[in-house]
Amino acid sequence: MPATRQIKEQARVKARILRAARALFVKHGYEAVSLRRIAGAIGYTAPALYTHFSSKEDLLLELCRAEFTTFSDGLTPLNAIADPVVRIYRFGEAYVHFAVRHPEAYRFMFMLPVPPVEPQPEDLAKFDNPEMDGYAAHREAIAQAMAAGDLRAGHTDPELVAQVLWSGVHGLASLHITHQNDPCVPWRSLASRLHTLLLATLSGFLKPEAESRLRGAVGDERGAETHA
């Protein structure tokens, strides 16, 4: 049955292109990678890529989808953390760590204007499923903390709180990626910024009891405030 084998072969070539593209992006940065270069890396010429992708942006989108999957996969184990408040903290940590370890991927995913494109059906399947959608899992943890009465009075919208917390870690991650080497900013260590951000923001949302529960779980050592 060569017809289906052909499809498999197509998928294999497509994966090879994506793998080559990804490697070039992390090695030389997004701006320095052209279609000819990607094609050359696997022994093809540039127009050959149009057999598998309708445009360069399409290729990028496909790559982005793959990155989202590995991103979500990294978050999934954290769902096992029982205390929702601690889980929120660990989500924030994992989020920033992913961004710092895969800066090019993170740029694609969260630092470029979202193209006005219709979401694919397979994306919508993952959407809002806490098992596969990191944002949904994060919001779910917040809703659980709310239900447990851990949040201060006045906070009744998990979505709003989720978006605010997301803003914080996204700001930390994206500033790190873009301005890490900016000589104008005497950056404190990423670890201390992350710890301080998460603890301060969560403290602002939490009741004192929940806050000290969190501090007990994640540590409250002043070592995080070292200036290295």
Site residues, DNA (CB under 7 A): 1-3, 5-6, 9-10, 13, 33-37, 39, 43-48, 50-52, 55-57
103 HSE (CA, 13 A, CB side): 15
By the 10 Å C-beta count (0-12 exposed, 13-18 middle, 19+ buried), 17 is classed as buried
100 HSE (CA, 13 A, CB side): 18
Is 25 a residue that touches its own copies (CB under 8 A)? no
14, 19, 56, 193: which one binds its own copies (CB under 8 A): 193
Which option in its own copies, DNA, none does residue 10 bind, with CB closer than 5 to 8 A by kind?
DNA
- Residue placing its CB nearer to DNA in the complex, 6 or 226: 6
Helix (H, G, I), strand (E, B) or coil at 52: coil
- Maximum Cα–Cα distance for the chain, whole Å? 66
- Residue placing its CB nearer to DNA in the complex, 52 or 176: 52
Which option in DNA, its own copies, none does residue 166 bind, with CB closer than 5 to 8 A by kind?
its own copies
- C-alpha 20/C-alpha 214 separation (Å) is 43
Which option in DNA, its own copies, none does residue 172 bind, with CB closer than 5 to 8 A by kind?
its own copies
